[in-house]
Amino acid sequence: MTESFWTRVGLRVATWVVLAFLYVPLLILIIYAFNPSRLQAWPPSGFTLHWFAETAGNPGVREALATSVLAGLGATGVALVLGTLAALAVHRFEFFGRETISFLFVLPIALPGVVTGIALRTTFQTAGIDFGLFTIIVGHATFCVVIAYNNVIARLRRLPRTPEEASADLGADTWTTFRRITLPSIGTALLSGGLLAFALSFDEIIVTNFTAGPGTMTIPMWILSAIRRPTELPVVNVVAFVLILVSTIPVYLAQRIGGDRTH
């Protein structure tokens, strides 16, 4: 392709504008996390790690972080088990309405979080379940299951069936075949699905707001409440910075693992 000089310059500028649009706000946030001044004014008045220490000592942050981690692990665990089972069922067996069921598994990710949230809230109230960590986990699991399901079924569709047949042929019953042959071959898909699910759960706020109840707070919820208190802003910056790391690293790892590597 031969573009004119000005087309090339134009495209190059556009690329940088888009990148700036996406990343300058993140950069500013990160810079303020190291700014000694409690006021968010430009230019920053120096460099300090003081807010990191203060964040680490903040009981609200620590509690919210613990809740977020537990919710993430719980939702990921539930999602991996249910997602894998669902993927195996849909992949293995021919049954009436299989395509519909496959579609229904994936649909929740397209539903607005508000809808999922309010639907779950209504259900929990109807069933008389107390709001707390458990309800957060259930809420997060609704979209984490989709991630796990998609990852596992994509892998299963690429895998040849004959190794499983060979295993059965060599005397292994169904469970042994699953444990020794199927599970190792979907292992990396589970890992990458798990990482993605955890990252999604960790920064989720909409569904969480509906399912958390008054006493429980995750990290994103804590940030939302803290930005209204100007004295806490530097801590918010630090937390947000940590959140950037916690949510991008798993996604990056998941892509590296999940990417189709042939031996």
Partner 1 sequence: MRLEGIRKEYAEVEAVAGIDLEIGAGEFFSMLGPSGSGKTTTLRMIAGFERPTQGRILLDGRDVTALAPFDRDVNTVFQDYALFPHMTVAENVAYGLVVRRVAADERRRRVDEALRMVRLSDHHRRRPSQLSGGQRQRVALARALVNRPRVLLLDEPLGALDLKLREEMQIELKAIQQQVGITFVYVTHDQEEALTMSDRLAVFNAGRIEQIGTPADVYEHPTSTFVASFVGTSNLLTGDAARAVIGSDGIFTVRPEKIRIADRAADAAVGEIAVDGTIREVVYIGPDTRYIVSLDSGGELVVTRQNLETSSMEALATQGRPVRLLWQRRHVLSLARSEDAVGETEEEETTP
Chosen residue from 40, 48, 102, 185 binding partner 1 by CB under 8 A = 185
Q: Could you tell me the end-to-end alpha-carbon distance of the chain, in angstroms, rounded to an integer?
A: 35
Q: In the set 163, 227, 230, 255, which binds partner 1 (CB under 8 A)? A: 163
**In the chain, what's the furthest Cα-to-Cα distance?**
72
From the list 21, 170, 231, 261, which residue makes contact with partner 1 (rule: CB under 8 A)?
Answer: 170
Binding test (CB under 8 A) with partner 1, winner from 37, 53, 165, 227: 165
**Residue 146 CB, nearest approach to partner 1 (Å):** 27
User: Where does residue 188 rank: exposed (0-12), middle (13-18), buried (19+ CB within 10 A)?
Assistant: middle
Does residue 160 belong to the site contacting partner 1 (CB under 8 A)?
Answer: yes
Give the nearer residue to partner 1 in terms of CB position, either 188 or 225. 188
Residue 260 in contact with partner 1, rule: CB under 8 A: no
Of 234, 238, 242, the C-alpha closest to 36 is 234
Return d(Cα 211, Cα 134) in angstroms, integer: 9
Closest separation in Å from C-beta 115 to partner 1 = 40
Q: Is 157 in the site for partner 1 (CB under 8 A)?
A: no
Candidates 233, 211, 121, 35; CA nearest to 222 is: 233
Q: Min. distance of Cβ 261 from partner 1 in angstroms?
A: 11
DSSP, residue by residue, 139-179: HHHHHHHHHHHHHHHHHHHHS-SHHHHHHHHTT--HHHHII
How far apart CA 135 and CA 7 sit, in angstroms, is 53
Least distance CB 161 / partner 1 (angstroms):
9
Least distance from partner 1 to the Cβ atom of residue 252, Å: 25
By CB under 8 A, residue 184 contacts partner 1: yes
Please give the residue ranges that form the binding site for partner 1 (CB under 8 A): 160, 162-163, 165-173, 176, 180-181, 184-185, 263
